[in-house]
Homo-oligomer: A and B are copies of this chain.
Amino acid sequence: MAEKIKEECNKLLLPVSDALDILSGKWKLPIIFALFLGNHRFRELQREVKGISGKMLSKELKDLEINQLVKRTVFDTSPVTVEYSLTEYGRTLEKLITELHNWGQQHRNIIFR
C-alpha cells in the first residue's frame, strides 16, 4: 500500500523533472528571455546573454531545438546567417515562467524581510 503510493509519486516526479530540466541551469532562462524579446542571430544572443561561451550557447540552443521550443532558420547568405526564434509551442513556457516568478517573488518577500 505504502509502496503503491511511492510508485505513484515516482511517476509524478518524471514530468516535473522534465519541465525543470528545460528551465534550470545557468543559461537556459537568460537565453529564453532573450528569445522572448525577438528573433536573434547566434552572435547577437551571445552578446545578450552575458558571459556565455560559444560552446554553451550552441549546446543549449540545440537542447531547446530538440524540445521543439526553438526554431533554427538558416539563410544562405555569405557568410551564412542563422536565426533562432521561439516556436509557438515555446511560448507556452511563458505561463509556467510566470508561475515561477509569482512564487519566487513572494518568497523573496518572505525571506528578505
B-contacting residues of A (Cβ < 8 Å)?
5-6, 9, 12-20, 22-25, 29-30, 33, 36-37, 48, 67-68, 89, 92-93, 95-97, 99-101, 103-105, 107-108, 110-111
Q: A107 touching B13 by the CB < 8 A rule? A: no
Given the interface pairs A13-B30, A16-B97, the reply to whether A107 lies near B37 with Cβ below 8 Å is no
A73 to chain B, nearest CB (A): 21
Q: B101 touching A12 by the CB < 8 A rule? A: yes
Q: B107 touching A96 by the CB < 8 A rule? A: no
Query: Which residue in B23, B68, B97, B104 is a CB contact (below 8 Å) of A110?
Result: B68
Q: What are 19 pairs between A and B in contact, CB < 8 Å?
A: A5-B37, A6-B48, A9-B36, A9-B37, A13-B33, A14-B104, A15-B100, A15-B107, A16-B29, A16-B100, A16-B104, A17-B104, A19-B100, A20-B23, A20-B104, A89-B110, A92-B103, A96-B99, A96-B103
